[in-house]
Structure 1
Amino acid sequence: MKKITIIASLLALSATTFAQTTWTVDKAHSRVGYSVSHMTISEQEGNFKGYDVKITTTKDDFSDASFDVTIDVNTIATENEMRDKHLKSADFFDAEKFPTITFKSTSFKKVSGKQYKLTGDLTLHGVTKPVTLTAVYNGTVENPMSKKPVAGFTITGAIKRADFGFASAMPAAMLGETINLRASGEFSK
């Protein structure tokens, strides 16, 4: 009888310890965007209004977190309707042919303090390449309204547009070769 109790206790403990938690993005307090040099003299910024981000983890400190991101290219917003339409065209995102951008993490490793290295596969313009981003875990607090835990992250990085065959007809003097990525958000259980 004692063996059964010990085994049952261990099974209950391991189920609790290894239970996977999914955190979903709070879009009212999140943003997914980019910036890129325009004619070498300014930064053009944009963001996407339609996206989904899920984080799954078994640990409270997110040290084993997995990130899954899907972005709807047709929701690009640069505060200029003509530019948005052009960015959706075959000259840039080719939204008709490649309607989504995805990122699926393969690794989330602590660097120091609240900083992590987030590595995963980015699919953009029909090309999938591994990328490494910087993630800052801003902490977890209880939302005073919902009384639920909320976690915050800021993620930054850069990619080369040529690696993804993106806007390949645009000369570097017109459109920078490096696209800077920035996402910040709140996530709840």
Structure 2
Amino acid sequence: MSPVFSHGDLRLYLLSLLDEGPRHGYDIIQALSERTGGTYTPSAGTIYPRLAKLEAEGLVTKIIDGRKTVYEITPAGHAEVSARAGEIDGIQADLADSVRLIADEVRTSMRAAMKSLRADLASATRSDHRPSEPTASEDERGRSRAQVSRADAVINEFRGRVRGDLRAFVARGGTLDAAVVDALESALADAAQGITHALES
């Protein structure tokens, strides 16, 4: 499954959540789950170390309120959020894209699972529940499904890595030339065409 946050984005997004108002750790986890439509619910082991790092950087303070620890943004944290508002907008857009991608992956997996289940039920009915060895064509379909899943993982990893590299480059002040994106688009079109020809041959 493709990642929801690129490298470094979760830290800034946590800061932007705290810029909306003080929150305790569980509230932050719930907010992330709600804003990703339930596709991403981070563990406490993911959130609390990042909050501790934000505190160490002087961007967040914490207050013990009974059994809860409430985190609040500092003026320095608010200044970073203001200075990086454009990046936060980009994270929001990427987050929406990632959620849609994950939802598509889940739907695809569910459809494949249901199709496989229907085929298994039909096979069991035809064989009158007698155990039988899989046919060569069934073995081949199984191997093909495994390769489709592998291809999905490769494509998602490539997408995440390139997107992260491009966003990090621009965030560092780099100028992204249109020719770079044109070259990327051309290379991907060539790759897609090559795959289509390979499948049709």
Same topology, TM > 0.5? no
| TM-score, scaled to structure 1 | 0.23
Higher strand share: 1
| TM-score, scaled to structure 2 | 0.22
Larger radius of gyration: 2
